[in-house]
Amino acid sequence: MQFTAAQIALLISGKIEGDANATVSSFGKIEEAHKGQLCFLANPKYEEYLYSTQASIIIVNDSLELKQKIKTTLLRVPDAYSAFASLLNKYQEMVTQQLSGIQQPSFIASTATLGKNVYIAAFSYISEDVIIGNNVKLFPGVYLGNNVKIGDNCILYPAVKIYDDCVLHKNVIVHAGTIIGGDGFGFAPQANGTFAKIPQIGNVIIEDFVEIGSNATIDRATMGSTIIRSGAKLDNLIQVAHNVEVGKNSVIAAQAGISGSTKLGNNVMIGGQAGIVGHISIADGTKINAQSGVSKSIKIPNTTVTGSPAYDYSAALRSQAASRNLPELEKRVYELEKLVQQLLLEKQNVE
């Protein structure tokens, strides 16, 4: 697909500076782009490439002041990074909207209900009493268990598995290999040293505009629901245990793990490989640094913690600064000890 600068300017409310008829058919990085590609400039560190790039169109900030002449067409916007992200989203929507119809081989139970303009790729399996909304896209190998509900405009990429009774609201994106609704890790220790499985009879509810990365696992509740609130974004390789609640607009980076029945507030940020124990609460706006281990509830909103066990970030920085000074402090203590010994000897000699 080809687009002119004038067409792109309409999509992002940009002001054209240069040839309004310049065309592009793909995207590129400003330092590597060639003719027919569109790129953006938001970071001043890359400004030097503005004057040498072969890109046909560049999205830039309104505030950018040119230091020399350029050959390319500029689209000026208040925030080049956000405008470029918006454009990529629109482009992706256009691509996915072209997908429709039911490919074979695939299985669709007779009791399933399909909305308008759905795309069901080959090797998909749709079980009894499934409800699929409008404009839903299911890529190859998707499995939907009994009574699963998928809201409008959801996209499930290859090999996503959603177990019985789970619910996805509207505009949810789930990337390849993720499993939603697998059994929670529930086992009761027995007197003979074995473990008896506790049936997991709840479900998972994922609200609007949630995005989940590849190969994540979100366990069904023992009873009730594991809930991912609207706007939350989960990276690849994340474990969310049974009965966890993730608050609105929270973000969780790769390889983080959240143990059972823990409640995250809204706008929580969790760094990669962080671990959170079960049955605690995390206040709104909390920031948890990468590889931190959170072992108790965080009750004060907008707290930042780091380390394992996690504690206040500012205090951690002070501790790190003190640790760096330990060799010098050790040297000073040694010198003071020598001075004290010398003074004691002098005192003894005087006596």
Tens-digit pLDDT profile for residues 36-94:
999 999 999 999 999 999 999 999 999 999 999 998 999 999 999 999 999 988 888 88
Residue-wise pLDDT tens for the chain (351 aa)?
Answer: 799 999 999 999 999 999 999 999 999 999 999 999 999 999 999 999 999 999 999 999 999 999 999 989 999 999 999 999 999 888 888 877 788 899 999 999 999 999 999 999 999 999 999 999 999 999 999 999 999 999 999 999 999 999 999 999 999 999 999 999 999 999 999 999 999 999 999 999 999 999 999 999 999 999 999 999 999 999 999 999 999 999 999 999 999 999 999 999 999 999 999 999 999 999 999 999 999 999 999 999 999 999 988 767 677 667 767 777 788 888 888 888 888 888 888 777 776
Do residues 176 and 282 both lie within one domain?
yes
Residue type, 45: K
Spatial separation of the C-alpha atoms in residues 304 and 1, rounded to whole Å: 46
- Where in the sequence numbering do the catalytic residues fall? 242
Same domain, 48 and 80: yes
Q: Output the CA–CA distances (angstroms, integers) from residue 190 to 16, 198, 208, in the order listed.
A: 72, 12, 41
Same domain, 165 and 302: yes
If one counts the domains in the chain, the total is 3
> Which CATH number do you get for residue 74?
3.40.1390.10
pTM: 0.82
Q: Confirm whether 316 is domain-assigned.
A: no
Q: Are residues 259 and 165 in the same domain?
A: yes
Domain match, 168 and 201 both: yes
Q: For residue 25, what are the contacts with CB-CB under 8 A and spacing of at least 6?
A: 1, 2, 3, 36, 37
Q: Is residue 258 part of a domain?
A: yes
In-domain check, residue 191:
yes
**In terms of domains, do 340 and 232 share one?**
no
Q: Are residues 167 and 49 in the same domain?
A: no
Domain extent, residue 338, equals 323-350
Q: Tens of pLDDT along 88-131? A: 888 888 877 788 899 999 999 999 999 999 999 999 999 999 99
Residue 16 lies in a domain: yes
